[in-house]
Structure formats: C-alpha cells, structure tokens
Amino acid sequence: MDKNELSASADVDAEEPHMAEHRTSEAAKRPTKEEAKAAVRTLIAFIGEDPDREGLIDTPKRVVGAWQDFFAGYNDDPADILGRTFEEVDGYDEIVIVRDIRVESHCEHHIVPIIGKAHVAYLPDRRVVGISKLARVVDAFAKRMQVQETLTAQIADTINNVLQPKGVAVLIEAAHMCMTTRGVHKPGADTLTTCTRGVFKTDPMMRREFLDLVVKR
C-alpha cells in the first residue's frame, strides 16, 4: 500500500466515476462464503482426504471463519486508527515506545504463520496518540498476507505520514513457519527487520537509544 492509498478517503462517492466503478467491480468479483468453502473442500480432496468424512464435514466452514479472523486487517484503515491525537502533553518531547506488541501474520508466499513481536517508537512533535492505537496499527497490517520487510515499512510509514512526528522507528522480530516447519526446517531462527524515519534515520544516537531500549534485555 503506497502513501496515496494510506491517505485516501473511504468515501467512494467523492471519487471519480471510473474509480468508483472499478471498486464496485472488484467487490463483485469477490467469491461468496459458499464458494470459499467449496475451495477448501477441493484442497482437502487434493491432499487425499475425504471432505465428507465425519470429522471433516464442518472443516470448510471452520477454515473460512478462521481466514476471516486471520486476515481481518483488510477491513481496517490504519490511517483512520491514528486519526484522534492529543496536544495536551505538558511539553513532553521524549521518545514514546510500545514494546513487545504481539505479531500474528501470514507469509504471502506459503500462507503459513509469522509469529513474533513488534517494537514501535516515535518522537512526538506537539501531539501524541493513544498508545493502544499503535498496537492496532500493527494488527491492521499484520492481519494480511505479508512479507516482514513490507510489514515493517508499512507500520513506520503510516505513523510517520499521519502523526508527522520528528521520527519513527519500528523493529520486528519474528519466526516464519515457512522456514521452521517446511523447506530448510530451521526452528529457533528469528528474522529481525527495522525501519526508521526522521531523526531515527538521521541521528545515530537516537537510533542507538531506540535499539538499546528494545533489543532483548
């Protein structure tokens, strides 16, 4: 998702006619729940199982429901989550950090879990946002098919674009099931990604302070 998409209005009526038609067309192409359940039945049969077996009869329904939860982030606008800010902070001008935000995502290459945690920091410029909103932004992007590098940058860019702070820093450490349960089978391997904006990118001391506060203690 690029910067224009992040700041775009959700009001289709305000868009140009051809854009509204495109969105309507895309919505019309979205499969129904029944079609989704049929697809799951096909996959069950593909691996050699019987989708009509007693233990599997309701599995397609359960899988579709689970997917709606796993990928609920497509229904959220991360920019809207950060829409309400506060300026009455008594001159607070130090780093705000939320550590150890649980990350539950899925690799877009194999659709298997990515499990880990995110550390999110920003240096306010006159206004702050409720700290729970930072965790919600993480969830809004994590609950999509993802690549960890993209996820890290999306979180940082959204906070930077909406709050316009002096700087933003995001670090994600996560285990990828596509690497630990298949392929090279390397359990215990974590992937770390960082994304910095503003003073966290230009000032080495600020970057070091962030890392000192969030790296495993």
Query: Is 110 a residue of the active site?
Result: yes
Q: 74 Cβ partners below 8 Å, 6+ apart?
A: 143, 144
Residues found in the chain = 217
- Catalytic, out of 148, 154, 173, 195: 148
Query: CB–CB of 90/48 below 8 Å?
Result: no
109 is a catalytic site residue? yes
Question: Per the residue annotation, which of 21, 22, 35, 109 is the catalytic one?
Answer: 109
164 given a catalytic annotation:
no
- Catalytic annotation present for 15: no
* Identified catalytic residue from 15, 107, 164, 209: 107
What span, in angstroms and rounded, lies between the C-alpha atoms of 10 and 5? 10
Among residues 15, 104, 164, 178, the one annotated as catalytic is: 178
> Does the annotation mark 107 as catalytic?
yes
Place of tokens 């049969």: 45
State the catalytic residue, choosing from 15, 49, 104, 110.
Answer: 110
| Residue 178 is a catalytic residue | yes
Catalytic residue among 21, 34, 108, 149: 108
Q: Which of 119, 173, 176, 195 is catalytic?
A: 176
Closest to 74 (Cα-Cα) out of 34, 102, 108: 108
Residue 93: C-alpha distances to residues 69, 84, 144, 167, 193 (Å) = 37, 19, 33, 11, 26
Q: Which residues participate in catalysis according to the annotation? A: 107-110, 148, 176, 178
